[in-house]
Structure 1
């Protein structure tokens, strides 16, 4: 039986999420929470559905606000037969908005269910990682350069524009929004400066419970490329990550069209660890 998720379902949904975590090929976009209290709070703004069997919840799927539309959480279920029906029921709540979904490249059951319901693949994002110890020996600023852990908003925006980044919403950040972002305990910025001019930066987010730091973005101004700044920034990011004793690994990502970034990670000694496919189902403009 497919029905809205109840408070009593939270332990079963957490069990499903932990089951998903146990194997990379099961991965889909899902709640980040892994405690009952956090999951309840995270689901407050979502339309959450479950499929319940005689022994409890066997599958979960939800829609949450995302950019210009919604994002699909899941579907997550131990039996392939549950996925398509639950997915279809969740989409009935989309109200004509575009819906995005993310699934591991090797999660063939979910990918098949998404494509059967009209989702189209947009791109594949590859993830690369390496132990910090492989990168930190090269963590020093070149002669005539210095390291900064903050940038003026105008310089931050300029590098994003010049680097052709897709996080367009960051170009509209107010100074207060930028200050709030970098005030987070799990976020760091490492910029490489020549005089007062930034030549590039790396932005990090920490996941100490996973022993990992993610390079969410690395930018080198186009006029400064080809001089090894990308390798230096990755090494500096690893050194910054090493200030967290729990962190042992640095991870970075690149979409399938970002060949220079993929080449950079290979030169730095990062190895491919997983790939995720981004899907979108277009909205109904008449709704």
Structure 2
């Protein structure tokens, strides 16, 4: 019977599409810890620490054994998974890719060594596994830390996908999707740089330059910092109409098909105009 475990959202399990009742939150926390460490023995003391942290009840060991016993019963109808006790701890025996966290990481690793449309498809497949916050509704110190780690991996994957889209000439797609993510992380300079470049390649150089100035002011006001070398270099390239910022040659045909009527946008560079009008106006900006 095929089984899958999902941690990238609420913690659940499905066998042949049917939802398995995994019990109360603490019990699902035990399962989540075992699944993150699939095929590895988790010592009892470590497992208790990851479930209760410093607030372990006196009955923690007995309660933990009871949770595992109930999880075994819940999963008893499947042949693909078992929870075994060995070497002073518990191990969940399961095909690693049956757990969405491990499937996500495998797909991301494959995407990073792939090219073009193949890389984009792998990133899309990996990010499509997310259904919300990892371990939704579970709250333990260790799982909260693991959630932060996974959120960082997700954001890194989204940035990498954005770079692939830029290489493929899909900057208009980024213009549609980036504002929502920047609203959550307005000072993420990786997101800002992608958004600025997408604006620039869409013929909206003035908007790109304005966004740089807004980000520069916000960094100074909120963090007392200056833009990174990445953003400063990109800004200088805008001002000099650096050809390196143009859509890669292999993506040019696709990009031309995507572009809307240019009359709806700020006038951009042309073959006879090495510097855009907005660049000239902003040439004195830092």
Of structures 1 and 2, the larger Rg is shown by: 2
Q: What is the TM-score when the length of structure 2 is the normalising length? A: 0.25
Q: What is the TM-score when the length of structure 1 is the normalising length? A: 0.25
Structure showing the higher strand proportion among its residues? 1
Higher relative contact order (CA closer than 8 Å, sequence separation 6+): 1
